[in-house]
Amino acid sequence: MKTEYDLSKMKSRKNPYASRLKKSVTMRLSEDVIGYFKGMADEAGVPYQSLINLYLRDCVTQHRKVQIAWQTKP
């Protein structure tokens, strides 16, 4: 085994699985929601978008459902 390898002549290529890893989406989130996740992300030392993704992934794996109760007018 060599102690050094010359990689300067290698051709780069795209990761064939990159498109399957994540998909870019646009979401409208409230300022307080973004602030909440940015604060937690700063404490954890991760980007806030990654933290939101982790939270949503946890919801998927735990099969959490949103429970909304609309107020009815009397």
Per-residue pLDDT tens digits for 49-62: 999 999 999 999 99
Q: Return the pLDDT at 15.
A: 81
Residue 20 has pLDDT above 80, yes or no: no
What integer best gives the mean pLDDT of the chain? 90
Residue 74 has pLDDT above 80, yes or no: no
Range 48-53 contact pairs with CB under 8 angstroms and sequence separation of 24 or more: 53/22
The predicted model gives 15-22 an average pLDDT of 79
Domain range for 39 is 29-61
**41 lies in a domain?**
yes
**12 lies in a domain?**
no
Number of folded domains that form the chain: 1
φ, ψ (nearest 5 deg) of residue 59: -60, -40
What confidence tier does 35 reach under pLDDT thresholds 50, 70, 90? very high
